[in-house]
């Protein structure tokens, strides 16, 4: 999706920058090389993106204009809750969930197109005040969790697995909304999060709360 959008909008002075929020054993680099993106693809092992922009899950996107101003803060990049209705044995989606999932992706991609072509005139471009209003409030627990996460990663890199894992668990406890932090200690397999019982237990515990917070965008389901 992002490569197609990059190809389409390259003449509009538009650039995708992809960031893998991955610090576990193994390396996302082979996946990046296999995809052969023409846009920058980075690996954020210390989750600096989370600290700077409030990223708590993937896929999330941040719109930044030519002057460096945040036009839209971190938000779900066309992702939707449909996966929660998935048949966990077959991984099939009910028709209504599949439709809404497709609509969410289409709506978001079309909004990016409109902004790339129309800039501040796009109905999806927030003013500076509007962008600030959409920023998540930073709490002491969130800031502490990011520091704990970095400490845990430092310890893991230096062979202190038990102690490193302990700090990652504490970071996740302090900032439970961050799936990025939790995911690093989840032992994700090649089959992804959907193969982990712990993931579904955590999702089910959300109850009526959204996994992907709603995106304040016209046409978004």
Distances (CA, A) of 34 to 28, 39, 129, 141: 10, 14, 40, 38
pLDDT the model gives residue 71: 97
Count Cα atoms within 13 angstroms, Cβ side, for 202: 17
Q: How far apart are CA 125 and CA 109, in angstroms?
A: 14
Our CA angle for 58, 178, 24, nearest 5°, is 70
Hunting for tokens 């959204």 — which residue is that?
A: 210
pLDDT the model gives residue 33: 87
Q: Are the CB atoms for 27 and 131 separated by under 8 Å?
A: no
Q: How far apart are CA 212 and CA 56, in angstroms?
A: 10
As beta bridge partners, residue 43 has 20
Our CA angle for 28, 211, 30, nearest 5°, is 5
Element housing 19 (H / E) = strand 18-20
18 phi and psi, to 5 degrees?
Answer: -95, 140
Q: What is the DSSP letter of 187?
A: -
User: Could you report the per-residue pLDDT of 57-100, keeping only the tens digit for each?
Assistant: 999 999 999 999 999 999 999 999 999 999 988 889 999 999 99
pLDDT the model gives residue 67: 94
Q: Residue 190 CA to chain centroid, in angstroms?
A: 18
Q: Are the CB atoms for 43 and 29 separated by under 8 Å?
A: yes
pTM of the model: 0.90
Q: How far apart are CA 110 and CA 124, in angstroms?
A: 10
CA dihedral of 23, 27, 29, 31, whole degrees rounded to 10: -110
- The count of residues in the chain is 221
What are the tokens at 146?
Answer: 């990011």
pLDDT the model gives residue 73: 97
pLDDT the model gives residue 183: 87
pLDDT the model gives residue 189: 54
Nearest partner of 134 among 182, 79, 86, 75, judged by Cα:
75
What are the tokens at 74?
Answer: 């971190």
Going residue by residue through the chain (221 aa), what tens digit of pLDDT does each one get?
Answer: 899 999 999 999 999 999 998 866 567 888 888 899 999 999 898 899 988 999 999 999 999 999 999 999 999 999 999 999 999 888 899 999 999 999 999 999 999 999 999 999 999 999 999 999 999 888 999 999 999 999 999 999 899 999 999 999 999 999 999 999 998 877 655 556 666 788 999 999 999 999 999 999 998 98
């Amino acid at each position: 999706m992002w490569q197609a959008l990059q190809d389409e909008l390259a003449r509009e002075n538009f650039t995708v920058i992809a960031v893998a929020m991955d610090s576990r054993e193994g390396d996302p680099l082979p996946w990046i090389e296999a995809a052969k993106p023409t846009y920058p693809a980075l690996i954020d092992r210390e989750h600096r993106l989370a600290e700077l922009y409030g990223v708590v899950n993937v896929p999330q996107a941040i719109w930044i204009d030519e002057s460096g101003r945040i036009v839209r803060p971190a938000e779900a990049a066309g992702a939707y809750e449909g996966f929660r209705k998935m048949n966990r044995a077959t991984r099939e989606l009910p028709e209504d969930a599949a439709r809404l999932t497709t609509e969410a992706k289409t709506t978001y991609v079309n909004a990016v197109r409109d902004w790339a072509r129309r800039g501040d005139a796009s109905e999806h471009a927030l003013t500076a005040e509007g962008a600030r209003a959409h920023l998540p409030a930073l709490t002491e627990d969130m800031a502490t969790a990011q520091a704990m996460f970095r400490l845990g990663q430092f310890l893991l890199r230096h062979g202190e697995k038990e102690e490193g894992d302990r700090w990652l668990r504490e970071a996740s406890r302090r900032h439970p909304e961050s799936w990025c932090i939790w995911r690093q200690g989840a032992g994700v397999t090649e089959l992804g999060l959907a193969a982990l019982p712990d993931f579904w237990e955590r999702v089910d515990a959300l109850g009526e709360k959204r996994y992907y917070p709603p995106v304040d965008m016209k046409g978004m389901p």
